[in-house]
């Protein structure tokens, strides 16, 4: 990434001006690989695993955005189930309740990215907070079954207030829960739309750009861009 060094330098400068008290991490795509569900999908629908996963994820996000805009909130677990049904129907694949439950259960067993445990274990001088659109019945089993549970100080779910990111109310929940100022938070996400929402709200933002995607054209550029979470150790 051409501008990686530039962003590392900038982060160091800003940290000296405003101390960071909490590191707030998105979950899906940031700490855990949502596309690790491909294995289960492919085991049930041979040759379709990758395509199911891609359509499923796109529709999952779209449904959460639509429900937020329409004021028709459903939990992220329900949204994820509905998006899975759409993906299977789009690909003209038949399903029953047993198959749906089997695939949906993979969201409680997603693979963490390889660097996550090491990074979280080494930033124990700050609050380590998970903040997700996921509902607690998805997040808590996922964290507990992984090896990162002991390195997570707080789990914040938008389901507690029924407001999906990137709405301002969702990010306000972080301040209300942690009791610190927005300038004292460093927010990390792999999702460009999430970074835009957090930046608009006033958080310092680190885009974990795992896929090398372009910056969202919303005049809300991330403060820092890293290829993975390893860079956080150098920056803090």
Give the CA-trace dihedral at 37, 43, 48, 49, to 10 degrees. Answer: 20
Is there a cis peptide before residue 222, judged by omega within 30 degrees of 0? no
Q: How far, in Å, CA of 80 to CA of 94, rounded?
A: 18
The active-site residue out of 26, 33, 159, 223 is: 26
26 is catalytic: yes
CB-based burial, 64-75: b 16+ in 10 Å, e otherwise: bbebbeeeebbb
Catalytic residues: 26
């Amino acid at each position: 990434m051409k501008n990686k060094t530039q962003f590392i330098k900038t982060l160091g400068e800003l940290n000296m001006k405003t101390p960071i008290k909490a590191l707030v991490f998105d979950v899906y795509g940031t700490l855990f690989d949502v596309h690790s569900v491909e294995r289960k999908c492919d085991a049930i629908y041979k040759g379709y695993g990758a395509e199911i996963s891609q359509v499923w994820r796109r529709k999952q996000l779209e449904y959460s955005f639509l429900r937020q805009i329409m004021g028709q909130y459903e939990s992220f677990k329900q949204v994820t189930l509905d998006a899975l049904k759409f993906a299977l129907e789009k690909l003209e694949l038949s399903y029953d309740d047993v198959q749906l439950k089997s695939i949906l259960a993979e969201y409680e067993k997603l693979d963490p990215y390889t660097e996550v445990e090491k990074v979280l274990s080494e930033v124990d001088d700050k609050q380590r907070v998970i903040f997700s659109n996921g509902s607690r019945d998805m997040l808590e089993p996922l964290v507990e079954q992984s090896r990162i549970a002991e390195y997570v100080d707080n789990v914040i779910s938008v389901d507690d207030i029924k407001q999906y990111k990137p709405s301002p109310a969702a990010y306000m929940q972080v301040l209300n829960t942690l009791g610190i100022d927005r300038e004292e938070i460093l927010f990390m996400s792999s999702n460009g739309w999430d970074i835009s929402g957090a930046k608009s709200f006033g958080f310092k933002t680190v885009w974990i750009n795992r896929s090398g995607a372009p910056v969202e054209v919303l005049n809300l550029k991330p403060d820092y861009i890293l290829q993975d979470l390893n860079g956080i150790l150098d920056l803090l």
